[in-house]
Structure 1
């Protein structure tokens, strides 16, 4: 995939807009202030000053996922509740990104390690990426039909 970062970011913002997710890009935050979602308004706020700009596409996808998942405002009775919400946003964020990586690759050339590197996906999500990539290419469907 040779899509430029700014084109990718714009495409992801278009995806958000097409799915009724509002967004605000800001340069007013510090380089280590994370992007976030204003749950009450369904608006994602993306820190364009983020210290590693290569992480911004995943941040856009992740924050978009919070809105699409219908996550509630930032009250978590337990860390487990917060963790479950974040896991679901990570999974859906990966699903949002998958077509951007796989659309121009056959299964033989798709590599979950490369996907994680390109989108700066945290290593603890590798198994999710691997599973979602197999799902994207219909690998799970093929395997299910073989039994």
Structure 2
């Protein structure tokens, strides 16, 4: 998990996104501040295993061109949140693929990488799309 977090922070840096890693009470949500190209990540989040997904999600807000600050709330409440979730899923999938991690089932992938269960259907679609690319 540590290597994935380093990868995500480097990815952000490589794309001009600054990262502030903080420790606050668990209720304090991580946030993307697109106008500042900054993500603020609470390392003391309630579900620490989802921390890489949260980082990817906040990166997604900025990479997707969102203009308003967006707090991570753990469930997509609008299309910007949904797209940030999908960005994170794809970003982590790319990392896993580059590590040559192979999974028989998407459920193994999301469990291994701390991706929320709500993303399972999307993970199935991602796996299917990539299976179709194999010749």
Q: Whose Rg is larger?
A: 1
Which residues of 2 match residues 40-79 of structure 1 at below 5 A? 40-74=35-69
TM-score by length of 2: 0.83
Q: Tell me if 1:17 matches 2:9.
A: no
Q: Tell me if 1:139 matches 2:131.
A: yes
Equivalences, count? 128
TM-score by length of 1: 0.77
Which residue of structure 2 lines up, in the alignment, with residue 78 of structure 1? none
Structure 1 unaligned segments of length 5 or more: list them: 76-81
Once the two structures are superposed, residues 61-113 of structure 1 have per-residue CA deviations (whole angstroms, 9 ceiling, x without a partner) of: 000000000101149xxxxxx5111111111111100022233134xx34210
Q: Tell me if 1:88 matches 2:80.
A: no
CA contact (8 A) 2:50 2:116 kept: no
Q: Tell me if 1:34 matches 2:22.
A: no
CA–CA distance in 1 between the matches of 2:12 and 2:44? 20
RMSD of Structure 2 on Structure 1 (CA)? 2.0
Query: Which secondary structure state, in structure 1, belongs to the residue aligned with residue 83 of structure 2?
Result: helix
